[in-house]
């Protein structure tokens, strides 16, 4: 297991295949090849100094005759917690801010227009512990909290939309806590927020102990760099959640996550990519990386002895395109910044080509789903053994 | 391209990696390992003589305390057309029947309980030509046609449920044609049919020239070997179609297909597998194999010169489990029979573990889909640039 945990990436292993073999496998499992983009040497050097893996890709897209290209650069950042979980909350958060500033400045150097962090990016993923204190102290106002204020400065300075998934404190509704993503526009203005729609109850993901299912619907954020949405973590297992963002007009859907283990890792490359294909938009899968250790032991409901860590967050962040192609993943082991240039025009091009939206028959499913919610729902079953 | 067309399988190439490297890649891209099952030597020998690739797998599943295991064997058959498309319709069909008999008998020797053919299995996939004659002559009654009668004998003889995707002729509704799958139970009785819900308009898939969107809903067939459903070909691109079979109680959903080309091949391993994960059932992806050549040239709407073939059907049939693991694929180049033993109890086990059904929030989506079908639908968009 520890050996399994530590290998860097599938791509690194596949490259050991001979050129022809590698290309055949790559084409089948990853789709049409993505290209490389150049970033200034200063950016590459700084990434090395900061020990942040930097990958820079572009997704090829044909030009059209009537619409100019709408090329944007997406920045996905995956990171470990920089200081131990036994540190003070404010010390941990400040260490996160320092790392975040580094990453956003790197991204700015690489021309990123829209930047997204992992889920609950400014804190350890402490929900495994089921301890309310001190972890609930991280919860803050989406509109006016310190993290939003901190990022507003950065976004304004770098002309960059920043998506900031945090633990939200809702003081006007009984001090409730939410798992939310805050969207800050490229002028440093708070644009809005989305609350996680689907909350897990599996393994160490004891999140339902802390917060409820989101009540913000499926908002799509119209920005200068396209229509963006956020499907937070466990929502990626729900095709209806992805579909809803598509119906509301999303061109890029971010999936900031925190996920571990051999059970979820084989799903990681499938779900966000399937969503890109089915809905004709880009998806950005971002996973936390590293192993987080907590002071007090806890159990995982799986018969194993009490222990101090959640398991290994395997990183592997990637971007998937509407045509089913995808970038390589960031490593399974290190902090990393994935910069990907995409042309949003590709969404409509692929929708025209495949016709999944035209052939969707929404009316059929609206009726079925409505029936299926009723307590006297009769399944359509033929035969009786 | 011709080199790309001809390589046998991704799995064959991956096996060139050293043991440790192979296992790491396999675990990440295919999930928990499947096991092997033994079939009699006579079956293996006969498969070799018939030039049918035989793969036999089992998906491990823990035993429960209250429910006995519900192990069944699924048989997926992919095949080329055995005689040229310039042959007479009855000669082609008889050649298909001979091949089918061979495959079903092989499957019976391997203990298969439920057998499924590829889409429109008893004919060339001639819809690329847009010629109505002679291809429409293949259409036959689902209930009383020669293909159903032929398979009823086999199913009774071998105690096997057989799913038979054919071109259907509906004489009682204006002689209309449908793309349908007929389900014959293990006593040789016609159990019912399902008509393809989503019809493609892409590339050479000119199927909307021949038949309309299905009007049979999303039936699930209750058999002695579990609750089965069929999502025909292009319906695999529609998460709602998969979802509907799940809502109606399916435990295994077959996806008999006919698909070609580098554009769809990277999607092939993603879509049926994502459906298995999201819906907590087994999926069986079956693709036609080989290149079919037609007498009269046709164009493909892609700027290329007129030509005589549809491209290469890349086979690669596989079974995906609710936990996201999958079998290797059959080859990209040859006739093949994939026998997979599964325990249907796994569906509920995985649903209990992940909780995707419990956390589904159908009411939210029933409302959204209902709104989205209206002509005055307002997308939930925040911001206005």
Pairs across A and B, CB distance < 8 A: 261
Distance, CA of B272 to CA of B221 (rounded, Å): 19
Of A201, A273, A356, the CB nearest to B355: A201
Query: Nearest-CA distance from A5 to chain B in Å?
Result: 10
DSSP state of A129: G
**Catalytic annotation present for B53:** no
Lowest mean pLDDT among A1-10, A33-42, A155-164, B186-195: A1-10
Question: What pLDDT score does B161 carry?
Answer: 98
pLDDT tens-digit profile of B145-203? 999 999 999 999 999 999 999 999 999 999 999 999 999 999 999 999 999 999 999 99
Question: What pLDDT score does B89 carry?
Answer: 97
Mean pLDDT of chain B: 96
pLDDT tens-digit profile of B252-308? 999 999 999 888 999 999 999 999 999 999 999 999 999 999 999 999 999 999 999
HEC profile for B199-256? Answer: CCCECCECHHHCCCCCCCCCCEEEECCEEEEECCHHHHHCHHHHHHHHHCCCCEEEEE
Confidence check: pLDDT of B19 > 90: no
Question: What pLDDT score does B4 carry?
Answer: 65
**Confidence band of A183 (pLDDT split at 50, 70, 90):** very high
Contact A270 B273 (CB under 8 A): yes
Query: How far is CA B194 from its chain centroid?
Result: 13
- CA distances, B16 to each of A19, A25, A243, B113, B318 (Å): 13, 12, 39, 34, 21
pLDDT tens-digit profile of A344-356? 999 999 999 999 9
Contact A365 B267 (CB under 8 A): no
- For residue B264, what are the contacts with CB-CB under 8 A and spacing of at least 6? none
Contact A267 B366 (CB under 8 A): no
Q: What six digits make up the tokens of A96?
A: 């996160």
Query: Which residue from A minimizes the CA distance to B361?
Result: A198
Confidence check: pLDDT of A376 > 70: yes
Sheet containing strand A190-195, edge to edge, reads A35-36, A53-58, A336-343, A71-78, A114-116, A161-170, A176-184, A190-195
Strands B289-298, B336-343: pairing kind: unpaired
Lowest mean pLDDT among A182-186, A272-276, B55-59, B302-306: B302-306
Question: What pLDDT score does B384 carry?
Answer: 81
Question: What pLDDT score does A226 carry?
Answer: 98
Contact A237 B17 (CB under 8 A): no
Peptide bond into A134 cis (omega under 30): yes
**Confidence band of B335 (pLDDT split at 50, 70, 90):** very high
Question: If you average pLDDT over residues B326-352, what whole number do you get?
Answer: 98
Question: What pLDDT score does A324 carry?
Answer: 97
Contact A358 B201 (CB under 8 A): yes
- CA distances, B191 to each of A73, A193, B151, B188, B255 (Å): 54, 51, 13, 9, 18
Confidence check: pLDDT of A145 > 80: yes
Lowest mean pLDDT among A159-168, A202-211, B1-10: B1-10
Question: What pLDDT score does B3 carry?
Answer: 56
Of A222, A273, A381, the CB nearest to B383: A222
DSSP state of A135: G
End-to-end CA gap in chain B: 44
Contact B201 A355 (CB under 8 A): yes
**Catalytic annotation present for A196:** yes
Long-range (24+ apart) CB contacts under 8 A made by B193-197 are B193/B142, B193/B143, B193/B168, B194/B218, B194/B219, B194/B229, B194/B230, B194/B232, B195/B168, B196/B232, B196/B233, B196/B234, B196/B235, B197/A361, B197/A364, B197/B231, B197/B232, B197/B235, B197/B238, B197/B241
Query: Which residue from B minimizes the CA distance to A27?
Result: B266
Query: Nearest-CA distance from A378 to chain B in Å?
Result: 8
**Catalytic annotation present for B196:** yes
**Confidence band of B1 (pLDDT split at 50, 70, 90):** very low
Confidence check: pLDDT of A164 > 90: yes
B185 contacts on A by Cβ (under 8 Å):
383
B227 contacts on A by Cβ (under 8 Å):
381
Residue B191 in contact with residue B185, Cβ under 8 Å? yes
Question: Angle between the B146-158 and B89-109 helix axes, to the nearest 10 degrees?
Answer: 20
Question: If you average pLDDT over residues B208-221, what whole number do you get?
Answer: 98
Written as one string, the DSSP assignment of B285-353 is: EEE-EEEEEEEEEE--SSSPPPEEEEEEEE---EEE-TTS-BPPPPPSSS-EEEEEEEETHHHHHHHHH
> Which among B61, B128, B233, B284 is annotated as catalytic?
B233
Query: Nearest-CA distance from B379 to chain A in Å?
Result: 5
Residue A274 in contact with residue A105, Cβ under 8 Å? no
Q: What six digits make up the tokens of B92?
A: 């082609």
Query: Nearest-CA distance from B365 to chain A in Å?
Result: 7
A31 contacts on B by Cβ (under 8 Å):
266-267
Query: Which residue from A minimizes the CA distance to B275?
Result: A239
Question: What pLDDT score does A2 carry?
Answer: 46
Question: If you average pLDDT over residues A228-244, what whole number do you get?
Answer: 98
Question: What pLDDT score does B159 carry?
Answer: 98
**Does the predicted interface ipTM exceed a cut of 0.85?**
yes
Contact B366 A364 (CB under 8 A): no
Question: What pLDDT score does B2 carry?
Answer: 47
Confidence check: pLDDT of A385 > 90: no
Residue A337 in contact with residue A54, Cβ under 8 Å? yes
pLDDT tens-digit profile of B64-121? 999 999 999 999 999 999 999 999 999 999 999 999 999 999 999 999 999 999 999 9
Residue A245 in contact with residue A236, Cβ under 8 Å? no
């Amino acid at each position: 297991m520890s050996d399994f945990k530590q290998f860097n990436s599938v791509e690194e292993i596949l490259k050991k295949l001979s050129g022809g073999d590698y290309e055949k496998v790559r084409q089948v499992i990853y789709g049409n090849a993505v290209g490389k983009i150049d970033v200034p040497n200063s950016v590459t050097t700084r990434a090395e100094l900061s020990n942040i893996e930097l990958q820079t890709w572009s997704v090829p897209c044909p030009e059209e005759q009537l619409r100019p290209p709408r090329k944007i650069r997406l920045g996905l950042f995956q990171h470990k917690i920089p200081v131990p979980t036994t540190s003070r909350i404010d010390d941990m958060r400040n260490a996160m801010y320092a790392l975040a500033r580094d990453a956003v400045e790197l991204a700015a150097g690489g021309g990123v227009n829209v930047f997204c962090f992992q889920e609950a990016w400014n804190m350890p993923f402490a929900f495994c512990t089921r301890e309310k204190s001190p972890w609930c102290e991280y919860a803050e106002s989406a509109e006016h909290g310190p993290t939003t204020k901190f990022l507003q400065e950065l976004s304004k300075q770098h002309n960059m939309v920043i998506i900031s998934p945090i633990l939200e404190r809702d003081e006007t509704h009984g001090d409730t806590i939410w798992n939310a993503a805050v969207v800050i526009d490229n002028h440093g203005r708070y644009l809005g927020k989305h609350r996680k729609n689907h909350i897990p109850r599996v393994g160490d993901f004891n999140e339902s102990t802390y917060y409820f299912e989101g009540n913000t619907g499926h908002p799509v954020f119209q920005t200068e760099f396209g229509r963006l949405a956020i499907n937070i973590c466990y929502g990626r297992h729900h095709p209806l959640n992805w579909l809803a963002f598509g119906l509301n007009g999303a061109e890029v859907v971010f999936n900031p996550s925190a996920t571990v283990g051999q059970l979820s890792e084989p799903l990681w490359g499938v779900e966000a990519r399937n969503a890109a294909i089915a809905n004709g938009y880009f998806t950005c899968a971002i996973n936390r990386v590293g192993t987080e250790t907590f002071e007090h032991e806890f159990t995982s409901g799986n018969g194993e002895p009490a222990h101090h860590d959640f398991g290994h967050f395997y990183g592997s962040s990637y971007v998937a395109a509407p045509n089913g192609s995808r970038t390589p993943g960031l490593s399974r082991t290190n902090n990393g910044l994935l910069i990907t240039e995409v042309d949003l025009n590709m969404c409509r091009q692929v929708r025209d080509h495949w016709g999944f939206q035209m052939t969707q028959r929404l009316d059929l499913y609206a009726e079925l789903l409505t029936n299926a919610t009723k307590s006297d729902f009769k399944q359509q079953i033929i035969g009786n053994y």
